[in-house]
Amino acid sequence: MDFNAPMQALWSYFNGNKATKVQPAPQPTQSSGGGLAQMMQAAGQQPMAMSGGGSGKARYIAEKPEPGEATVKFYPTKDYIHPTETNKGTAWAPLQMPVTAFKSLAKAHAEALDLNIIDPDTSKYILSGGLREGRWGDYGVNQVDVNYKTPPPSHLRSMVANSDKVAADLKAAQLAEQEAIKKGNVDASVKHHRNIQSLQANLSLLDDLILKDEKWTGAKSHAELTKKAQLLGLPESTNQELIRDKDTGKLITKVDRYRPDYSRSQDERARFVPFALANKIDELPKGAKGLRVYQAFIGGGPLAKIRAGQQSEMQDYVTEHPKNKDSYNAYQKTMESFRKKK
């Protein structure tokens, strides 16, 4: 494996056989009762902590490294170290983070500090947060929505009013269709469905015209986050979405949507992690930082408190447990090797 200059901090780590080679694992077989978690364990993968935004549903999505790929081992929770009720008495095998993902995340961490993208207290959670879902392609960040925090311009008032009316009619039609389906009224449900399709087409046309208006500018925070995206070298956002009030359904603002491009470099995708955190800081009350930011980043829903506790536990285990000492020290050294010389 060819390491460039900033990777010198890892030489002793890898030469000491702390980086492992992943052996081909047996493929999971279809099972009617074993469940996805058991299938993943049979394939050499471990179920990660619950995730999924506000849904409160468990997502076992830890990615398995390619056979022969060099990895760095982590034990992110007690379930990877001790027998627990969750692991049914047998500690899970360590999470294996590919060296490429490890290096890119450390580099993004260093750049975030040098460019003042996020504060040091929040940056401390980049590693444990990046390990959370075991998704090495995007570290669990599949999009970042930067809020304009400004209402539609006054010259769009009439168009926005029409959009709000069509949106309200669409919601009513969808409810009517559901009611017709419950009652088994096929004719009514078909009629409502056709109406829904027509309303959706009209709403799409109206909203596209609203989004294309170049006079709609964002608040100061939007400009600051746009600048941070540029500093990180992220692709310019080409997708916008209108945001409506959850209760009234009325259009209130819009967002720039940034998404990682999986055909581009691992380094670039890693930079989405600090950018997503910077965006989350902007959404929270002034002064929010550190664990508070990551807990909010994980999401809400009925399991929000559980997930927040998990993140706190992961941070403690990743940074302090003896089993993670070598891997964590290697990460810190790699990150510091990427820092700009003062």
Residue 223 has pLDDT above 80, yes or no: yes
Which range has the worst mean pLDDT, 192-196, 232-236, 307-311, 337-341?
A: 307-311
Task: Name the residue with higher pLDDT: 304 or 76.
Answer: 76
> What's residue 18's pLDDT?
47
Averaged confidence pLDDT in the chain = 82
Q: Tell me the mean pLDDT in the region 139-153.
A: 94
Structure tokens at 28: 């999971």
Residue 330's pLDDT band (boundaries 50, 70, 90)?
very high
DSSP, collapsed to helix, strand or coil, labels residue 19 as: strand
> What's residue 301's pLDDT?
66
Q: Tell me the mean pLDDT in the region 266-288.
A: 94
Structure tokens at 91: 């500690």
Residue 299 has pLDDT above 90, yes or no: no
> What's residue 304's pLDDT?
66
Tell me the helices (H) and strands (E) count for the chain, helix number first.
12, 6
Non-local CB neighbours of 174 within 8 Å, separated by 6+ positions: 192, 196
Q: Tell me the mean pLDDT in the region 231-246.
A: 92
Percent of the chain past pLDDT 70, that is, above it, reads 79
> What's residue 124's pLDDT?
93
Q: Are the CB atoms for 79 and 86 separated by under 8 Å?
A: yes
Residue 311's pLDDT band (boundaries 50, 70, 90)?
confident
Nearest to 138 by CA among 79, 80, 61, 238: 61
Which range has the worst mean pLDDT, 6-20, 145-159, 173-187, 256-270?
A: 6-20
Query: Highest mean pLDDT: which of 2-6, 111-115, 261-265, 286-290?
Result: 111-115
Residue 127's pLDDT band (boundaries 50, 70, 90)?
very high
Residue 237's pLDDT band (boundaries 50, 70, 90)?
confident
DSSP H helices in the chain? 11-15, 35-42, 99-114, 120-123, 126-131, 157-183, 186-211, 220-231, 266-283, 291-298, 304-320, 325-338
Residue 45's pLDDT band (boundaries 50, 70, 90)?
very low
Residue 134's pLDDT band (boundaries 50, 70, 90)?
confident
Residue 23 has pLDDT above 60, yes or no: no
CA dihedral (243, 244, 246, 248) in degrees, to 10, reads 170
> What's residue 293's pLDDT?
87
Annotated domain spans of the chain: 15-142+260-338, 153-216
Q: Tell me the mean pLDDT in the region 165-182.
A: 96
Q: Are the CB atoms for 252 and 244 separated by under 8 Å?
A: yes
